[in-house]
Structures are given as structure tokens and as C-alpha cells.
Chain A
Amino acid sequence: MAAAPTTGVSMGEALNRALRDAIADDPDVLVYGEDVGPLGGVFRVTDGLAGEFGEERVFDSPLAESGIVGTAIGMAMYGLRPVVELQFDAFAYPAFEQVVSHLAKMRNRTRGAVALPVVLRVPYGGGIGGVEHHSDSSEAYYTHTPGLRVVTPGTPADAYSMLREAVECDDPVVFLEPKRRYWSRQEVDLPVRTEPMATPVVRRPGTDATLIAYGPMVETALEAAETAAAEGRSLEVVDVRQLAPLDDGVVTASVRRTGRAVVVHEASVFGGYGAELAARIGERCFHYLEAPVLRVGGLDVPYPPPKLEHHHLPDAHRVLAAVDRLQWESEWVDDGDGGRTLP
């Protein structure tokens, strides 16, 4: 497989630049949260911003996630566009009530009178050797909430473009940052605008099966496709990007072309976002499918300790094992009754 780029822009740098440009472009944009000021965030995504723009625009808040989101709601009611950081996936849970009961519903409750253009940046997912509560994949909690846009970039270029778009968006956006990919690099000139975030994109064309991934698993799916190509199997990779509301056109068109699909995410499989994708593909591509839609994800266990996390995290090998289970005709055998079956 191709080595990961060591030059170009990292996802963390792209996010930092997106915040910088958003603050510079719009006086109503402000960035706050825990440790986002002088420290520059625990992942340094806000590095240098407080120094450049002053604490009027970028500042540390008290350590209270519900208060962070609640105050952002109040600010947005009065015309600001707050971009707040909730430091880690599992530390965002105290804010859940504000997110579900107010942030997601305010436009609807007020029949459109009050829009809440708030961005919640949430570093999510594992793979960084974090101790407990630092590696959750919490996307399904948010995608199950009508009124929220839930987006997650898979590449540095998308990280920049989608964060700019999220800040400009009049809906509340849960912006999930795949923390293990903060250091992934891509040759790209910033500023860049990629496809609108609501549209999934084909990251790699292929003909035999479609891998549907998002966030941290885009890279993993591409790695699997690279390996499969060497073995003579052509896999298409679709990056979902905006998980909710989902525009599934690109996904279903791809699966109709290839006839086979594997949904890949880092979160536990049971009740995960992949179940929604698989169900939609089943509904909309039934007559095109050569095999059941398979899901690949993390184990259905609480996120493991660092020394065991590699057993939990889906890798290219786990993805390819699922691809192998897609009922390829070459594996069919006579059933002894005039028909054919899988062994």
C-alpha cells in the first residue's frame, strides 16, 4: 500500500487555519471552551488564535460543558456565531441535555424565529492510546437527534472546508473531529473549498464493492482498497461526511453500480450509525445487491484500555475480511440439486 504522506497539511493544521479564517472573516464568530486560549487546546487545534485575535474572540471558559453549550445557545440567540470546543467525546456528555433539548430543537420550537448557528467541535474516536473516557465514538447519540447537523471530515482538505461551512451554516452543527487523524497529512493549498458537506463523495472509484466510511475510517477504507487492488479486487470508497441529515444519493448510486457494500465505522456495531446506512441501502438497492450489506466496526464493548484498543479498532484487515464474505460467485459450489450455493 502507498505510504501515508509526510508532507503537506495535517488535519489539525487545516482545522486551525479554518478557525483562524472564520474568525478573521466574521466579527460575530468567537471560539471558546476549556483550554482553547493560551494553551491552544489539548490537541493544539486552536494554537495561536488567542494570541492573534485576543481574548475577546478566543478564550477559556469554566470547566462545565453544559454551561459552555448553554451560553453558546444564548449567544446565538443574540446574533453571535459561537464555535465551542468540547474537549473529548466522553466529556461532552454533561452537555447532552442542552444539545438535545435546546440546540437541536430551538428552530423548530420557535417555528423558525430563532436559529442557532452554533458549532460544537468534538474530538472523537480512539486509536491514540488514551485512557478511559478519551476515545468514544459518540456520533450515533447525535445523529439520532433531528435538528442537528452531524458532520465529520476524513481528510485535511475536508477538515478545512467543512469547518468553514459549519461556521457559516445557520443550523447547529456537531463537528466531530477524528482525533487519531489530526496528524494525517495531505498536499493541499489552503484555503480550499471542497464539495458541500451535505454530499457524500467517492474517495476512490471501484467496480466490485463499495466501502462506506466516514471520519477516522476513511483512511482505513482507502488502505483496504489499496490492498484489495493489489489482490485484483476493485473497491470503491465513499466518504459520507455529513452523517445527519443524510443525503444518501451518492451512497446508493455507488452500491447500485457495484452491487456489494460494507459499511465501516469505529463505533460499536450494534445500534451504530452503520445500521442506518445498511438499512437504507437495503431499502433502496435491494434488486441491485449481490450480497447482504455487511457492517464492520468496533466490538460491542466499552472502549478498551490502551493496550487492548487495537483489538477493538477496525483495521484494513477486518474490512477486507468482510469484503471476502460478500458472497462472490467464484466461491459458489454446486448444491448437488442442480442449483448453486455458498459452501
Chain B
Amino acid sequence: MKHTDERPRPAPALPTREPVRLVDRHGRRVGHSSFTAPDPARLVELHRAMLIGRRFNQQAGTLARQGRLAVYPSSTGQEAAQVGGVLALSDQDWLFPTYRDSVALVAHGVDPVRTLTLFRGDWHCGYDPHRYRCAPQCTPLATNASHAVGLTYAARRKGRDVAALAMMGDGATSEGDAHEAYNFAAVWNTPVVFLVQNNHWAISVPLHRQTAAPTLAHKAVGYGMKGYHVDGNDAAAVYAVVSHALAEARAGGGPAIVEAVTYRVDPHTNADAPQRYRDPAEVEHWKERDPLIRSERLIRDEGLLGDAEETERALAAFGAEADRIADTVRERLADGDELDPRSLFTDVYATVPPLLEQEHALLADELREV
């Protein structure tokens, strides 16, 4: 019988304290020894997806304030981390998002309206996970991470080249499930990249009360994984690092943690009161580091969309497209699936057990009385 290879594995290098940055907040390229920015077409694509994401965040926030959504956890300010991570995935790869990753879902190709089913209160998950290769948005923190490990393990067993991006926030890295998932992934050598969006706040708890680790990426080393510390507001850097980590993981080089340092500009949700726990000056500091500002400047300064006139036209077209998607979300929000109370009973088990048949009959009686 084959036993585990007991040869000591080389310890991964510690992540850099300075995050990987390829484009600074002024839109200027920064040289890096290990990573290069993606090609111009990809840089433009990242910008376009971030614009769509930003408008989506704004629209969903408005709908929540109007009461048309039960709640919306905004990711304004985090678009580079979400879009940069998702666009690095290949067609067959899976995404394991959390409740704050609607923008990632939209970039991944999920119907934008269906990403809001959960927040609209119609159902828990509005899309078919198999169709989009995207797990339901996960609310219990870090519990989605081990699902990514299991799924990629199963895919490998079936001879398919499938990697996964498991998303979590800074707070989630404190959960036991994060630890268990990191460890399983490393021991089984499954192609999972854990994308940690460090947005500095777990609702009202700041990072320094969350962890004493030098960076969240340092956590990887204890599991025998690589950890990458990235400027999460630099879409080019997130994309380059996640692409590299996914390629390494696919090739058997092991899973990785990518910490994208970013900031939650908006409240935790529309029900939150951030003025009670954080300094508005901190928010302003991060707004100057907005991921969209730098990507637009880079595109303009380097003429990635052509001359000045062509650039204006193209950027205006991107803006119009983002507006159109947001408008569509607003208009289509009402045409959700028919909410038939019968559906409460149909998908609890593979077949409807007698007890649920009885309860369905009771509910039908109540509805008739109404």
C-alpha cells in the first residue's frame, strides 16, 4: 500500500510586507521583480468590468435604500479585488463567493438580477450553480472554503482540470473553517486559490482586533502554502498574482492565499452605522486610492484605447454600458420568479416526505381562508 511521501517539503518564502503593486494610485506603472501587468486589452477589460461593478454597487445600494431589496452588502471600493480575481479564472473553473461578492458574480457571468435574488428576499440562491460554475453566495463566514477544496478534489478524481477561487474577507480568516480549509487544500494539494479581501473592517471590528499576523498572507506559510500580499485596489496586480497562483496550483504547485488589501468604503450593509466606529478621514484616505481612478488614468495616460478622442468615446461607451446594466437590474428586479408557497416543500428532500405533504395541505387551507 502506498503511504504518504514523507520527504520534507521546502518551506514557502514569507510574503512581502509591501504589497505587490503594478499600477500606483496615480495610474503610473510600478516595476516589480516577480509580476508583470497584463496586456492592454486585459487592462481595458478589467476597467470595463470594474465600471460595471461600481454602477451595480451604486444601483443595488439605491434599491436597498428604497426598500426594494431587503439588504445589500456593498463592495464599493473593492471592485479591483473582485474583478481582478474572477477574470483570472479559466472557463472550467469554479467560484465560491460570499454575500459581499455580487460584483464578482457579475464579472463571472452570472445574470446580474439573479445575483440579487438573495437580497431581494425571493430565495436563497437565484441561479443554478452548475450552469455558472459558481456556488451559492455564502453567508456563514469561511464555510465555503472547504467546499472549494472538495470540489477541486472531485474534479481531479474525474480527470478534469478545474481550479477554484474561494473568496473570504479579513474577518473570515479568524474562523476555524478557514484554518481547516487551508490545511485540507495544502495536504491534498488541490488547485484552490483563497482570495482574501482585506477590507479592514469586519462590520465594526478593525483589522488589529482581528489578527496579530504581520499580513493575512503570512498565514499561508504555516500550512505549507504560498501567500501573496497584493494591493487589492490595483486590478492589474490582483489579476497578475491570482493568475500566477492559479497556474501554479493547476500545475501541482499547491494552493495559495492571496491577500488583496482594499477598503470597504460603504457601510457593512444599508443597516450599518459606520460613523459609530470609524474616522471619516480614513474613508477619504482610501477614496483617493479608488481602484477605478487609477485604471482610468492608466488607460488615458498610455492611450490604451487610442488617441484622446477615441479614448473619450470608448470610456463613455463603457459608462453607458454600465448604466444600461444597472437600469436593467432596476427594471427587471420585479420580474423575479413566481413565489409559489408550494416551492417551500418541493426541494427539501429528493422526494416530498409525508410530513411535508401534510404541512403543504395545511398551508393550502390557510391560503384558501385568506
Which residues of A are in contact with B by a Cβ distance under 8 Å?
Answer: 30, 38, 50-51, 54-56, 61-62, 64, 66-67, 69-80, 82, 94, 97-98, 101-102, 105-115, 146-147, 149, 169-171, 198, 245-249
- Chain A residues with CB below 8 A from B143, complex form: 66, 70, 97-98, 101-102
How many interface contacts (CB-CB < 8 Å) are there between A and B? 148
Contacting pair B146 A80 (CB below 8 A) = no
| Selected contact of A107 from candidates B146, B154, B183, B348, CB within 8 Å | B348
Contacting pair A113 B130 (CB below 8 A) = yes
Binding-face segment, B6-14, B120-128, B197-205, B323-331: B120-128
Q: Which 3 A-B pairs have the closest CB atoms?
A: A74-B150, A70-B146, A67-B180
- Chain B residues with CB below 8 A from A101, complex form: 140, 143
Contacting pair A111 B180 (CB below 8 A) = no
- Chain B residues with CB below 8 A from A70, complex form: 143, 145-147, 149-150, 177, 180-181, 184
Most buried by B among A77, A79, A80: A77
The smallest beta-carbon distance between B1 and chain A, in angstroms, is: 6
B130 (CB) vs chain A CBs: closest residue: A113
Q: Is the CB of B153 closer than 8 A to any CB of chain A? A: yes
A111 to B145 Cα, complex, angstroms: 22
| Selected contact of A147 from candidates B176, B346, B349, CB within 8 Å | B349
A108 to B349 Cα, complex, angstroms: 8
- Chain A residues with CB below 8 A from B136, complex form: 106, 109-110, 114
- Chain B residues with CB below 8 A from A72, complex form: 150
- Chain B residues with CB below 8 A from A74, complex form: 146-154
Interface string of B63-91 (1 = CB under 8 A from A): 00000000000000000000000000000
A172 to B131 Cα, complex, angstroms: 22
Contacting pair B146 A71 (CB below 8 A) = yes
Q: Is the CB of B155 closer than 8 A to any CB of chain A? A: yes
B352 (CB) vs chain A CBs: closest residue: A245
Most buried by A among B146, B350, B355: B146
Contacting pair B151 A75 (CB below 8 A) = yes
The smallest beta-carbon distance between A308 and chain B, in angstroms, is: 33
- Chain A residues with CB below 8 A from B153, complex form: 71, 74-75
Contacting pair A54 B350 (CB below 8 A) = no
| Selected contact of B1 from candidates A51, A97, A105, A112, CB within 8 Å | A51
28 A-B residue pairs with CB within 8 Å: A54-B2, A64-B183, A67-B181, A69-B146, A70-B143, A70-B150, A70-B181, A70-B184, A71-B149, A71-B150, A71-B153, A71-B184, A74-B146, A76-B150, A78-B155, A78-B162, A79-B154, A80-B157, A98-B146, A98-B177, A101-B140, A102-B147, A105-B124, A108-B124, A108-B348, A113-B131, A114-B136, A249-B354
B349 (CB) vs chain A CBs: closest residue: A171
Contacting pair B184 A108 (CB below 8 A) = no
- Chain B residues with CB below 8 A from A109, complex form: 123-125, 136
- Chain A residues with CB below 8 A from B155, complex form: 78
B96 (CB) vs chain A CBs: closest residue: A74
Interface string of B2-29 (1 = CB under 8 A from A): 1000000000000000000000000000
Q: A66-B180, A67-B184, A109-B136 known; A149 and B349 CB under 8 Å?
A: yes
Contacting pair A78 B158 (CB below 8 A) = yes
Which residues of B are in contact with A by a Cβ distance under 8 Å?
Answer: 1-2, 123-125, 128-131, 135-136, 140, 143, 145-155, 157-158, 162, 176-177, 179-181, 183-184, 187-188, 343, 346-350, 353-356
A149 to B177 Cα, complex, angstroms: 24
The smallest beta-carbon distance between B33 and chain A, in angstroms, is: 35
Contacting pair A66 B347 (CB below 8 A) = no
Contacting pair B152 A113 (CB below 8 A) = no
The smallest beta-carbon distance between A100 and chain B, in angstroms, is: 9
A147 to B355 Cα, complex, angstroms: 12
A64 to B150 Cα, complex, angstroms: 14
The smallest beta-carbon distance between B358 and chain A, in angstroms, is: 10
Contacting pair A66 B176 (CB below 8 A) = yes
Contacting pair A110 B1 (CB below 8 A) = no
B126 (CB) vs chain A CBs: closest residue: A111
- Chain A residues with CB below 8 A from B151, complex form: 74-75, 77-78
A149 to B351 Cα, complex, angstroms: 12
Q: A66-B146, A67-B180, A245-B356 known; A78 and B154 CB under 8 Å?
A: yes
A111 to B176 Cα, complex, angstroms: 29
B184 (CB) vs chain A CBs: closest residue: A67
The smallest beta-carbon distance between B348 and chain A, in angstroms, is: 5
Contacting pair A62 B187 (CB below 8 A) = yes
A102 to B136 Cα, complex, angstroms: 10
The smallest beta-carbon distance between B45 and chain A, in angstroms, is: 29
Q: A64-B180, A108-B347 known; A38 and B147 CB under 8 Å?
A: no
Most buried by A among B131, B181, B347, B350: B347
Contacting pair A55 B180 (CB below 8 A) = no
A71 (CB) vs chain B CBs: closest residue: B150
A70 to B353 Cα, complex, angstroms: 26
- Chain B residues with CB below 8 A from A246, complex form: 355
A74 to B130 Cα, complex, angstroms: 12
Contacting pair A112 B349 (CB below 8 A) = no
The smallest beta-carbon distance between B186 and chain A, in angstroms, is: 9
A13 to B135 Cα, complex, angstroms: 38
Contacting pair B180 A107 (CB below 8 A) = no
- Chain B residues with CB below 8 A from A106, complex form: 136
The smallest beta-carbon distance between B2 and chain A, in angstroms, is: 6
B151 (CB) vs chain A CBs: closest residue: A74
B347 (CB) vs chain A CBs: closest residue: A112
A79 to B349 Cα, complex, angstroms: 17
